Amino acid sequence: MAEPPVDFHTSPDRYRHWKLALENGVAYLTMDVNEDGGLRPGYKLKLNSYDLGVDIELADAVQRLRFEHPEIGAVVIRSQRDRIFCSGANINMLGLSSHDHKVNFCKFTNETRLAIEDATEHSGQPYICSINGIAAGGGYELALACEHILLADDGSSAVSLPELPLLAVLPGTGGLTRLVDKRLVRRDHADFFCTTAEGVRGKRALDWRLVDALIPPSKLADETRRIAEEVANRSTRPKDETGIVLTQIERSIDGDTIRYSTLTVEIDRERRAARLRIMGPSSPPPADEEGIHAQGAGFWLLALARDLDDAMLHLRLNETEIGTWVLQSQGDAALVHAYDDLVAGAGTWLSHEIELYWKRTLKRLDVSSRSLIALVEPGSCFVGTLLELVLAADRSYMLNGTFEGSNLPAATIGLSLTNFGCYPMGNDLTRVRSRFLGVPGRIDELKEVLGEALDAEAADALGLVTFTPDDIDWEDEVRLAIEERAGFSPDGLIGMEASLRFAGPETMETKIFARLSAWQNWIFQRPNATGPEGALKLYGTGKQSKFDRKRA
């Protein structure tokens, strides 16, 4: 029997594993995992271990705090369990899960932690982790995503990354990278830390930069509160503003068609492709920031970001054989420009959060293990923010001219200021700069045509699209591109695409996702970890793993 699809829709009143409380400008996210609340049957979430369902709730809370609570200037992550913070990803769940589920789980978990770091850096909501016991594996990786790590100094509370000695795998959601790139832990210290199952506690944890403060257990709650309130008082968040409610996303699934208010997804199983058809705004934007606030989650630019984000997550987890996403749009380019201009010019906390949401959504597109093909056709509205989808694609096709028998004008694309800084990729460069590393003067050329409607010849001359076939060749070229992708090895495509998408400088973020795409894909399929006598399969049985000792 096929497993039910993973649903990413939730809200605080439906949380099973987290408790959210707000007090004096501080949000307290308390982890209290329901042992019987696993996303799939066959395992219990003991010792505050987690699966994808636990992380879906965390991701929802992180998102809501940014939009619904501008008064919150700090967030504390803590545990309800005595002497246990979090024991990490549930091992039995990993042992029972398919390979693609394990890797997608790791990817989503890390995207959630990047959202925590983004909220700390860009939204004035620093995260503080208060560890009252054991923080192991993914539990400590959650702490690593926070700005401040507080550890109970009781002789038993400890932090650890025990995946290697216990499971023959790696801290797959950024633990190794954050250890040395973010917290700047010495390499020799990190080597010892990652190869000892019991972890590190007390003064050594502090000296080695694994935590930021040691606090007696009797004072941990009060000190955490004091530190959090001090951080909140320094926050730039608008404490007197009112947030907007992130209402339930409207979505219907009818066979192979998924409909949202701003987007339709059509799945072609024969070609293993999904067409994501974006609908531009149907009316002009409101006049000012107050109008954005009044429309709330229904504001077109925000609604589209939420719909697109949900569609990508649904396809990634539930449609793993659909390997190509074809990006299309339909609408009035002038209206898209108007929405962009309003958000960019408002300069308020809400417009800032909408831009940050788009940045995260586009980053999720960048790291999705899918082939991305953009089609720019008559009637499309790939301008400004939506042009980022064309720039993110592995390949783009723009029709030169019009379709015979159609009354739609020739396709155009357009740049706006949003393309030059609002949406950096994981390499900290904009997509246009990443595209033209070999032609540095092109950025100045592009700025000279801001706001212009660029036809296929102009777009091709500027290097903004890949191919510009005419009406005669269009159907065959697009069809062959999609069918060719379906015939290649999915593994080979994942490796190629992940290697090509992030030109330029390496960052902590690109390192993490490169390793998720390569190391985790490889290690999760090796017999030493997942074979019949592998460590992941035998964990908890008392049996000793039999490793293939060859170094490859």
Please indicate, yes or no, whether residues 110 and 193 belong to a single structural domain of this protein.
yes
pLDDT (mean) for 331-338: 97
SS3 21: strand
pLDDT (mean) for 383-408: 96
pLDDT at 454 over 90: yes
Please indicate, yes or no, whether residues 206 and 266 belong to a single structural domain of this protein.
no
The DSSP output letter for 454 is B
pLDDT at 2 over 80: no
pLDDT at 307 over 70: yes
Whether 539 maps to a domain, the answer reads no
Rounded Cα distance between 438 and 441, Å, is 9
Whether 242 maps to a domain, the answer reads no
Rounded Cα distance between 158 and 201, Å, is 4
Q: Place 1 in a pLDDT band, splitting at 50, 70 and 90.
A: very low
| Residue 448: count of CB within 10 angstroms of its CB | 8
The DSSP output letter for 89 is B
Q: Where are the alpha helices (DSSP H) in 127-186?
A: 138-144, 163-167, 175-177
Whether 181 maps to a domain, the answer reads yes
Q: Place 3 in a pLDDT band, splitting at 50, 70 and 90.
A: confident
pLDDT (mean) for 104-131: 96
Q: Place 425 in a pLDDT band, splitting at 50, 70 and 90.
A: very high
* Total number of domains constituting the chain: 2
Domain's final residue, options 455, 482, 498: 498
Please indicate, yes or no, whether residues 207 and 297 belong to a single structural domain of this protein.
no
Q: Is the distance from CB of 98 to CB of 150 less than 8 angstroms?
A: no
pLDDT (mean) for 347-361: 96
Whether 300 maps to a domain, the answer reads yes
Please indicate, yes or no, whether residues 172 and 269 belong to a single structural domain of this protein.
no
| Residue 244: count of CB within 10 angstroms of its CB | 20
Report pLDDT for 137.
95
Please indicate, yes or no, whether residues 175 and 258 belong to a single structural domain of this protein.
no
Please indicate, yes or no, whether residues 283 and 373 belong to a single structural domain of this protein.
yes
Domain's final residue, options 172, 202, 234: 234
Q: Place 450 in a pLDDT band, splitting at 50, 70 and 90.
A: very high
Whether 241 maps to a domain, the answer reads no
Please indicate, yes or no, whether residues 65 and 199 belong to a single structural domain of this protein.
yes
Q: Is the distance from CB of 45 to CB of 37 less than 8 angstroms?
A: yes
The torsion angle over the Cα atoms of residues 301, 127, 170 and 107, rounded to 10 degrees, is: -10
Which range of 89-98, 113-122, 505-514 scores highest in mean pLDDT? It is 113-122
The pTM score is 0.96
pLDDT (mean) for 522-531: 84
Whether 533 maps to a domain, the answer reads no
C-alpha distances (whole Å) from 50 to each of 153, 157, 214 are: 25, 19, 26
Please indicate, yes or no, whether residues 217 and 333 belong to a single structural domain of this protein.
no
pLDDT (tens digit per residue) in 224-272: 999 999 999 999 999 999 999 999 999 999 999 999 999 999 999 999 9
Report pLDDT for 94.
87
Q: Is the distance from CB of 161 to CB of 140 less than 8 angstroms?
A: yes
Whether 529 maps to a domain, the answer reads no
Report pLDDT for 225.
98
pLDDT (mean) for 384-412: 96
The CATH number of the domain holding residue 112 is 3.90.226.10
Whether 504 maps to a domain, the answer reads no
Q: Place 95 in a pLDDT band, splitting at 50, 70 and 90.
A: confident
pLDDT (tens digit per residue) in 19-47: 999 999 999 999 999 999 999 999 999 99
Q: What φ, ψ does residue 528 adopt, rounded to 5°?
A: -60, -30
Q: What is the mean pLDDT of the chain?
A: 95
Please indicate, yes or no, whether residues 259 and 211 belong to a single structural domain of this protein.
no
Q: Is the distance from CB of 490 to CB of 334 less than 8 angstroms?
A: no
Rounded Cα distance between 199 and 193, Å, is 6
pLDDT at 498 over 70: yes
Range of the structural domain that residue 261 is part of? 252-498
pLDDT (tens digit per residue) in 165-185: 988 888 877 899 999 999 999
